[in-house]
Structure 1
Amino acid sequence: MSAVPLLKVSDVSKFYGSRIGCRNVSFELYPGEVLAIVGESGSGKTTLLSCLSTRLMPTSGIVEYHMRDGQYRDLARMSEAERRFLMRTDWGFVHQNPADGLRMTVSAGANVGERLMAVGDRHYGNIRAAAGDWLRRVEIEEDRIDDQPRAFSGGMRQRLQIARNLVTSPRLVFMDEPTGGLDVSVQARLLDLVRGLVHDLGLAAVIVTHDLAVARLLSHRMMVMKDGAVIEQGLTDRVLDDPREPYTQLLVSSILQV
């Protein structure tokens, strides 16, 4: 793991009028590291993810990203065009509802190929071959390459969304409840796939989830949020096996009792 952080987050807060989205969040994320942000609904984890991924601008604080040229850039000071380019190339974003991250009326191959075109690939044969390769990697039969996502099951759509995001070899992927709404057996296969891809590609990832089993399986480190604030953080196994805060203890025990 590199000694230089990929993402530096300093005192990030987001307020909606008088309501707190998140407040005073600071951490560093390193290349190849997976961070899980966990907490109940309304804890602020999705607001924080939106601030990190530039979908929302923080009310205060700084999010800096280590660019490929070795410089850190303050994301809030980037132009809209620069941020869009980053999202299409160096970053990925996996939505809870795959329909939010796919174009449902074009083929599976076109969904994957669009990202390649965004980084300048114009050779149809190369794009189609890469799309077919990525469909295989996410366990979608290659003969489905011309089918539209609306003909796919929920689990297949989510795997297609992952292929669309990873085809450009991003360095950082954001995931918002990636297994939400899927059957348990489908969840297990998807998690196994994601864990393998993250490991093989050396991706850094920030995963928002309310499911502690997902956090344990995928993440190296974990942050627990409550009422917009990070109340506990540390290595995932440490936080889950020896939670220090009463709220974290309650979260862990409630999962064990289910």
Structure 2
Amino acid sequence: MIEPLLPEPLLNVDGLTKRYGRRLACDGIGFTLDPGEVLAVVGESGSGKSTLLSLIAGEVAADAGTVSYRMRDGVTRDLAALSVVDRRALMRTDWGFVRQDATQGLRMAVSAGGNVGERLMGVGDRHYGRIRATALDWLARVEIAADRVDDPPTRFSGGMRQRLQIARNLVTAPRLVLMDEPTSGLDVSVQARLLDMIRGLVAELGLAVIIVTHDLAVARLLSHRVLVMRAGRVIETGLTDQVLDDPQAAYTQLLVSSVLAA
């Protein structure tokens, strides 16, 4: 019997290492991510979660290791070998990055519609009517009223800014989205609404996502797999329910028990 061919990973992270002086922020991190899969990276503050995301995004240069990505033409390429122009094009089209602080992911002096439309212009769309119509459609999808399309994000609440940032990132139909603590600092009710929206869009669009979070409830709600980090190292990884319901590593057990005790 011929075994069915397994799909190639969308992303392959191998041996990523980063030092800041004597501190080891990431120590040989490796994993693969399949199309449509959601991976949660969890751990306490200072565990290396956000550094890992910055390394994958190419915002921080790794001391060692590689990040490879399967392009739309089916060819897997080492991202470090891409030109600056190609890397920027990839981040404008096939990748998204939702920041913890929405002010870092939005143009705060540009209107809500302009923030969404700017990414469309980055992929070559120059038809104003089509860009505005698409922006209005995406604002509706993230529950922002059409009459706010010309308002700048400075007039938006924290939750609205995050929803706008998501619209800005998803408008070009990326295949991979990085999320860094997207619900941190928001009120509980706002968090719940945002998480429900993220979960719906991820399922609808078949997105592959790497989400960094300190909140195990967020990991359980959104992710298929969990990667637990401590002091720059991967302590435990596996299917989300298996890891959170039956943690094997002492550190993971401590994380889970601290949530249960709260």
What is the TM-score when the length of structure 2 is the normalising length?
Answer: 0.97
Q: Which residue of 1 aligns with 2:139?
A: 135
Instruction: State the Cα distance separating 1:218 from its structure 2 match.
Output: 0.5
- Aligned residue for 1:162, secondary structure, equals helix
- Decide which of 224, 243, 249 is 1:245's aligned counterpart: 249
User: Any idea what the Cα deviations from partners look like across 1:132-156, whole Å, max 9, x if unmatched?
Assistant: 0000000000111011110010000
**Does structure 1 residue 182 correspond to structure 2 residue 178?**
no
The 2-side partners of 1:156 and 1:10 are apart by 36
Matches within 5 A, 1:93-172: 93-172=97-176
Query: Once superposed, which parts of structure 1, at least 4 consecutive aligned residues long, lie more than 4 Å away?
Result: none
The 1-side partners of 2:251 and 2:235 are apart by 8
The 2-side partners of 1:62 and 1:152 are apart by 39
Instruction: State the Cα distance separating 1:69 from its structure 2 match.
Output: 1.2
Q: Which residue of 2 aligns with 1:6?
A: 10
The 1-side partners of 2:253 and 2:177 are apart by 29
Identity of aligned residues (%): 68
**Does structure 1 residue 47 correspond to structure 2 residue 48?**
no
The 2-side partners of 1:54 and 1:71 are apart by 19
- Decide which of 212, 225, 241 is 1:208's aligned counterpart: 212
- For structure 2, the residue ranges without an aligned partner over 5 or more in a row are 1-5
The 2-side partners of 1:78 and 1:3 are apart by 24
CA contact (8 A) 1:57 1:76 kept: no
The 2-side partners of 1:237 and 1:196 are apart by 19
CA contact (8 A) 1:12 1:61 kept: yes
CA contact (8 A) 1:38 1:224 kept: yes
- Aligned residue for 1:125, secondary structure, equals helix
Q: Which residue identity lines up with residue 202 of structure 1 in the other structure?
A: G
- For structure 1, the residue ranges without an aligned partner over 5 or more in a row are none
The 2-side partners of 1:20 and 1:82 are apart by 30
User: Any idea what the Cα deviations from partners look like across 1:140-173, whole Å, max 9, x if unmatched?
Assistant: 0011101111001000000000000000000000
Instruction: State the Cα distance separating 1:80 from its structure 2 match.
Output: 1.4
Q: Which residue identity lines up with residue 226 of structure 1 in the other structure?
A: R
- Aligned residue for 1:15, secondary structure, equals strand
Q: Which residue of 2 aligns with 1:59?
A: 63
**Alignment length, in residue pairs?**
257
Q: Which residue of 2 aligns with 1:26?
A: 30
**Does structure 1 residue 191 correspond to structure 2 residue 195?**
yes
User: Any idea what the Cα deviations from partners look like across 1:83-130, whole Å, max 9, x if unmatched?
Assistant: 111111100000001000000111000000000001111000000000
Instruction: State the Cα distance separating 1:17 from its structure 2 match.
Output: 2.2
- Decide which of 71, 74, 87 is 1:70's aligned counterpart: 74
The 2-side partners of 1:84 and 1:256 are apart by 42
Q: Which residue identity lines up with residue 191 of structure 1 in the other structure?
A: L
The 2-side partners of 1:82 and 1:21 are apart by 27
Instruction: State the Cα distance separating 1:81 from its structure 2 match.
Output: 1.3
The 2-side partners of 1:241 and 1:39 are apart by 16
Q: Which residue identity lines up with residue 221 of structure 1 in the other structure?
A: R
Cα RMSD after superposing both structures: 0.7
Q: Which residue identity lines up with residue 82 of structure 2 in the other structure?
A: M
- Aligned residue for 1:8, secondary structure, equals strand
User: Any idea what the Cα deviations from partners look like across 1:1-58, whole Å, max 9, x if unmatched?
Assistant: x711000011111111221010111110000000000000010111111111111121
Q: Which residue identity lines up with residue 246 of structure 2 in the other structure?
A: D
CA contact (8 A) 1:35 1:221 kept: yes
The 1-side partners of 2:74 and 2:252 are apart by 37
Q: Which residue identity lines up with residue 227 of structure 2 in the other structure?
A: M
- Aligned residue for 1:223, secondary structure, equals strand
Higher alpha-carbon deviation: 17-26 or 224-233: 17-26
